[in-house]
């Protein structure tokens, strides 16, 4: 029987006999390929709940593993190791250690939403990929990404003022990530924007940068959003704490 998706099998688990003769038939090399059996004893039984608790991950339980997301994926077309279907499979099985082996490519999702468009089960795999990246950061498997810094700066401004001012977002984002403010791509982009913008609009944007206006009566809305976010964070933390407690309990056994 052929081995499907051979790329998903770790090379160290594939075995071949250099020289093997069975009943007079030479089955050396690839003809004798087999997968070494292994015992997995480090399941995280809460892994699916943990990923579900992050924004975008709540529909992961609906996946039926059809593979349409991976087939349509922009990044998979360039790098076959980038496989959303496989990662959803690992999460649902609780195979955390296996998942972590791909931590350096999971974040490469470009949020093109092709997978979400084709998914027959409305899993919203693009959201799941985002949830997975945030989960990896939260658990300390990867450092906080630049995109996470950007998100934090963006929503902190929205919470404070009810709107965003692009210049301030970019400036604070560069500060957070220790990047220089004057970068060639940014200078080129700003020059292009200025050329196409009406003069009055530029004046208004300049004034907004200096005065930092707020949306009228924003405090009540900001409080409601903050309360909602705090509740979600509390829920997420309680799911992760449950895992930590179980791991602690298992460690004492
Ligand atoms: S397309 Fe949807 S149902 Fe199919 S494997 Fe991907 S996430 Fe699962
Ligand atoms: S959103 Fe991410 S996972 Fe989905 S198709 Fe695009 S790159 Fe692939």
Structure tokens at 243: 């895992």
pLDDT at position 250 is 53
* Angle between helix 166-176 and helix 146-161 axes, rounded to 10 deg: 140
pTM of this structure: 0.76
- Cα(73) to centroid of ligand 2, in Å? 5
Pocket probe mutation, ligand 2, options 73, 85, 102, 133, max atoms within 8 Å of Cβ:
73
Ligand 2 atom at minimum distance from 126 CA: 1
pLDDT at position 37 is 80
* Residue 83: closest CA among 109, 113, 56, 117: 109
- Cα(82) to centroid of ligand 2, in Å? 9
CA distances from 117 to 60, 95, 113, 158 (A): 15, 27, 6, 29
Pocket probe mutation, ligand 2, options 126, 127, 130, 132, max atoms within 8 Å of Cβ:
126
Residues in the chain: 253
Q: Which residue reads 């470009």 in tokens?
A: 110
pLDDT at position 3 is 59
Q: Domains along the chain?
A: 6-35 (no CATH), 47-143 (1.10.1060.10), 146-211 (no CATH)
- Cα(181) to centroid of ligand 2, in Å? 30
Ordered mean pLDDT values, 10 residues apiece, the chain (253 residues): 65 86 90 82 89 94 96 96 96 93 92 96 96 93 88 91 86 91 84 79 78 86 94 90 71 50
């Amino acid at each position: 029987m052929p081995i499907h998706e051979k790329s998903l099998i770790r090379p160290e688990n594939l075995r071949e006999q250099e020289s093997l003769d069975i009943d007079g038939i030479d089955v050396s090399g690839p003809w004798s390929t087999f997968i070494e059996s292994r015992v997995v004893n480090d399941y995280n039984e809460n892994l699916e709940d943990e990923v579900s608790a992050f924004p975008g991950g709540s529909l992961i339980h609906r996946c039926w593993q059809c593979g349409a997301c991976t087939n349509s994926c922009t990044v998979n077309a360039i790098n076959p190791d980038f496989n959303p279907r496989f990662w959803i499979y690992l999460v649902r099985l609780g195979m955390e250690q296996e998942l972590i082996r791909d931590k350096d490519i999971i974040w490469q999702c470009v949020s093109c939403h092709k997978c979400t468009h084709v998914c027959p089960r409305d899993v919203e795999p693009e959201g799941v990929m985002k949830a997975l990246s945030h989960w990896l950061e939260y658990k300390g498997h990867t450092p906080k990404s630049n995109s996470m810094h950007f998100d934090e700066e963006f929503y902190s401004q929205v919470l404070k003022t009810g709107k965003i001012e692009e210049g301030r977002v970019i400036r604070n984002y560069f500060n957070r990530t220790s990047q220089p403010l004057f970068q060639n791509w940014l200078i080129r982009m700003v020059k292009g924007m200025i050329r196409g913008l009406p003069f009055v609009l530029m004046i208004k944007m300049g004034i907004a940068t200096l005065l930092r206006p707020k949306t009228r009566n924003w405090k009540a809305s900001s409080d409601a959003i903050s309360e909602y976010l705090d509740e979600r964070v509390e829920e997420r933390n309680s799911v992760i704490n449950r895992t930590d407690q179980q791991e602690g309990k298992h460690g004492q056994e």
